[in-house]
Amino acid sequence: MLEPKVWQLTAGSAVFGLVLAAGAVALAGPWDSGQRKAEREWAAAQGRTGGAHHDGERVPEPAPSAAGVLAELGVSTASLSAPADLPGDLTTTLGPLLESPDLGPAPAASVVDVATGEQLFGQRADRLMAPASTIKIATAVAALSALGPDHRIPTTVVTADGGKGDNNKPGDKPGSEPGNEADGKGEEPTEITLVGGGDATLDRKGLRSLAADTARALRDRGVHRVTVRFDVSLYSGPREHPIGPNDNIAPVTALMAGQGRLDDSAADSFGGPAPRSGDPAGDAADVFADLLRERGLKTSGPPAAGRAPGDADRLAVTYSRPVSALVERMLTNSDNDIAESLVRQTAIEAGGPASFAGAQQAVQAELKKLKLPVDGVLLRDGSGLNRHDRLTSGLLTALLARAADPDRPELRPVLTGLPVAGFSGTLQGRYTDADATTGSGLIRAKTGTLTGVNSLAGTVVGPGGRLLAFAFLAEDAPAPDTAQRALDHLSAELVS
């Protein structure tokens, strides 16, 4: 879904759009995963050195900046922050459009020149409103700032048994009773614990790799029979989102596989809503135990919840993709599970509780460190599903401008993860009306939709290469489809 065939069908116009979109992220930083795949692979082939290390495992270094790509294309990046005339007077252009009844009685708007930070247009820009999923921009900025783009989330398997599991008596031959190494008969089970680290992108493939490494480590210790436990104590507070059981999000837990989806939808693409398990941690542990049995280990009963011992030895570990890639995927697909994971990782880094309340405090504190206008802001969750979230359109444009700050390259995935109008993620099917087609391929923006709430915040390269950040918030909108078209029209006016 991230690379729809429509790219191939519109190659001529898309090339121009991609150059301008690359201009929107010309400051150094990794690209959006899946949206410029060929360029990423080319860059990776040029040199595979560098990168952060996690216990001997190398994390790929961030991809080259879009500025480097433009240089290869022979396009100057000097114009990206150069002053240029805007498409007419924004008050005259945007003002009447904001009066559309499709946007409810009092929509808010902010347009900022990213290079200078100057607000070029504002209407109720300091009004606190429900942001819906545009709050994920704040989630992304806080996580990247606190954790860094190269941080990866571990899922581990540990055991308190530091010795061997082989119960053969001296003189017994391998395979004989009572210590039969082939089937584990007569062997006391060794307790192992699958410890959730909060990776909301863990899937069966990751569990399969973890099970293979675990089985290998246990065989090296002479262990053939285990009792499986799973530990989700990293998170605290309610597991259920305040929205209640919902197809848009699984119970928030430190361990899950496939985001608890109960259908065949893919969690790593824009699969949309899906029925969710009520116990994603237990389900993941069941899958892990099955995979251990496939590798010849015997298990004594089904997995049970329990804390890992404090003195446990680590048997195996698997890591998520870097936070930079998680942020991009979260923004492109509006992934609620990743959003709630990232705010809890931010809270853990700050030394606070990994709960809804702890995450709110940690994210707000991190944004305050970045000197962003957070007074009165309510960040009750990381996903935007909570209708009590409140922020301003002015904060959204400030977040986007901070992400483009040349002194903050670690924040660049916020820009590269934004969906491309008419082409990817939650914007793939939008910008089709005549009033908005000029924005197709040239606008990158995060969407937000709740009942009666519609929002759009992103970037656009205007005439002369001027990079603009915009945010539009609407409450009490009568219908989502007409509100979305009105928002598309508003942002498209910044192009022409």
Catalytic (active-site) positions:
133, 136, 334
CA distances to 91, 94, 102, 126, 376 from 123, rounded to whole Å, are 9, 10, 17, 8, 18
CA distances from 419 to 9, 72, 334, 435 (A): 19, 24, 9, 19
**How many C-beta neighbours within 10 Å does residue 13 have?**
11
Structure tokens at 240: 């259920």
Q: Phi and psi dihedrals of 32, rounded to 5? A: -70, 125
In whole angstroms, what is the distance from residue 213 CA to residue 192 CA?
13
φ, ψ at 185 (rounded to 5°): -65, 135
> Could you give the CA distance from residue 458 to residue 400 in angstroms, rounded to a whole number?
7
Q: Within the chain, what is the greatest distance between any pair of CA atoms?
A: 93
Q: Residue written as tokens 């009568």?
A: 478
Rounded to whole angstroms, how far apart are CA atoms 180 and 459?
65
- Give the separation between CA 57 and CA 108, rounded to whole angstroms: 47
Instruction: Name the amino acid, one letter, at 32.
Output: D
Q: Is 189 helix (H, G, I), strand (E, B) or coil?
A: coil
Q: Two tokens at 308? A: 């890992």
- Cα first-last separation, the chain: 28
262 CB-near residues (< 8 Å, 6+ apart): 274, 275, 276, 277
DSSP string, 111-147: EEETTT--EEEEESTT--B--GGGGHHHHHHHHHHHH
d(Cα 78, Cα 80) in Å, to the nearest integer?
Answer: 6
Both tokens assigned to 465: 């290469």
d(CA 445, CA 290): 42
Pairwise CA distance, residues 215 & 223, whole Å? 9
What are 132's two structure tokens?
């819906």
